[in-house]
């Protein structure tokens, strides 16, 4: 089944369709991950995006029950060079094709993903559409150009109803901006008693739960589209320890006077080197974000820069100078990716314990 990938600049790629037979429009991005396609596709930070995999073959180990980062993925589509129709891993429960069909997500294979990635790197991410060759191409381009991408992405993926993930240890409130299950796994491994709350939960509701700490999770889109979360962070910091990841990091920075900007093509992959300024330690990290904190706007009286990306110098971590609160741009929970940064969850535990002793 032939399918076309069209880009808003007029570029057309022809390939073979797999997965759902839907026509979709989304922001075309690329990830350099060599593995972990199931975790990538089910990561809600890819909400509304068409994911280009730079690794040549995708689908060879199928889809299994253990590697979901969300149950209902909301990416728009999947682009690969070669789609493996057979899955050979012992954990395999269904093929990637079968999984995408069940989730209503179209895929397109046979694309020159190297050429596509080079274009995205030089021009920047752009709108794209997966369509049928039988469709009137001019009409498809008109529809693509007329489509306005949504800005309520966090509202689309956050839980609507609070829910518990019971444990026997520290009480942690998790603010869900589009969380990855691996964040809950890491907190559960440390026996935390978790309460997951919607993205627009107000500060008083959080404080009424008497948490030992608050986790600000990852999520999709522009952090400035979530002003209620920025206001909430302003009101809880100093009253409870905070740990922010990815979008949570950007929101924490905005709450303390910094600004954010949209990157040309973002960081998406598993091999991003990050340097901790205090120690010089280099961690290889899993990342997935299209926005970053602007270093020039950070108030040194409020925030201290703790981590930077080795390749481009972008901000990868900050810590509050007066309150027990810190955040990182990358994913210390990995899934997929290296676990170099997982020690930050232990630092969060130590921060909560120290705060409790002072109280």
Is 290 annotated to bind a ligand? Reply is: yes
Smallest CA-to-CA distance from 246 within 183, 322, 164 is with 183
- Alpha carbon 119 to its chain centroid, in Å, reads 22
Is 250 annotated to bind a ligand? Reply is: yes
Pairwise CA distance, residues 92 & 95, whole Å: 7
Phi, psi of 76 (to 5 degrees): -90, -30
**75 included as an active-site residue:** no
| Residue of 176, 283, 333, 340 marked active site | 333
Query: Contact 284/338 with Cβ under 8 angstroms?
Result: yes
Q: Do the bridges between strand 303-309 and strand 260-276 make them parallel or antiparallel, or are there none, so unpaired?
A: antiparallel
Is 221 annotated to bind a ligand? Reply is: yes
Give the gyration radius of the chain's Cα atoms: 20
Give the containing element (helix H, strand E) for 230. Answer: helix 227-236
| Residue of 67, 83, 192, 246 marked active site | 246
**132 included as an active-site residue:** no
**331 included as an active-site residue:** yes
Query: Contact 101/19 with Cβ under 8 angstroms?
Result: yes
| Residue of 83, 272, 289, 331 marked active site | 331
Pairwise CA distance, residues 254 & 17, whole Å: 41
Query: Contact 49/28 with Cβ under 8 angstroms?
Result: yes
Tokens of 80: 């690969």
Is 291 annotated to bind a ligand? Reply is: yes
The catalytic site residues sit at 246, 331, 333
Name the binding residues.
45, 219, 221, 247, 250, 288, 290-291
- Please state the residue numbers annotated as binding site for L-glutamine: 45, 219, 221, 247, 250, 288, 290-291
């Amino acid at each position: 089944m032939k399918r076309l990938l069209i880009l808003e600049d007029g570029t057309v790629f022809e390939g073979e369709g797999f997965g759902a037979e839907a026509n979709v429009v989304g922001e075309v991005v690329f990830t350099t991950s060599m593995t972990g396609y199931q975790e990538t596709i089910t990561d809600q930070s890819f909400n509304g995006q068409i994911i280009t995999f730079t690794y040549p073959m995708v689908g060879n180990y199928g889809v299994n029950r253990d590697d979901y980062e969300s149950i209902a993925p909301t990416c728009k589509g999947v682009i690969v060079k070669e789609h493996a129709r057979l899955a050979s891993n012992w954990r395999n429960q269904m093929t990637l094709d079968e999984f995408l069909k069940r989730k209503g997500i179209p895929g397109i294979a046979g694309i020159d993903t190297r050429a596509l990635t080079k274009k995205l790197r030089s021009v920047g991410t752009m709108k794209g559409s997966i369509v049928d060759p039988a469709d009137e191409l001019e009409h498809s381009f008109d529809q693509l150009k007329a489509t306005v991408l949504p800005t309520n992405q966090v509202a689309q993926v956050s839980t609507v109803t609070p829910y518990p993930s019971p444990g026997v240890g520290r009480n942690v409130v998790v603010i869900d901006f589009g969380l990855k299950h691996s964040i809950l796994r890491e907190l559960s491994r440390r026996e935390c008693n978790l309460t997951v709350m919607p993205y627009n939960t107000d500060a008083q509701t959080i404080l009424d739960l008497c948490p030992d700490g608050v986790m600000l999770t990852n999520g999709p889109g522009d952090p400035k589209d979530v002003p209620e979360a920025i206001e909430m962070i302003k009101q809880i910091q100093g009253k409870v320890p905070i740990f922010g990841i990815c979008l949570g990091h950007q929101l924490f920075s905005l709450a303390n006077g910094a600004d954010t900007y949209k990157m040309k093509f973002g960081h998406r992959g598993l091999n991003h080197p990050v340097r901790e300024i205090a120690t010089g330690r280099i961690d290889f990290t899993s990342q997935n974000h299209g926005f970053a904190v602007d270093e020039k706007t950070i108030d040194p009286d409020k925030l201290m820069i703790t981590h930077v990306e080795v390749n481009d110098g972008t901000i990868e971590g900050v810590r509050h100078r007066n309150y027990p609160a810190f955040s990182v741009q990358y994913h210390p929970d990995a899934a997929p990716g290296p676990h170099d940064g997982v020690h930050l969850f232990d630092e969060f535990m130590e921060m909560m314990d120290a705060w409790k002793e002072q109280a």
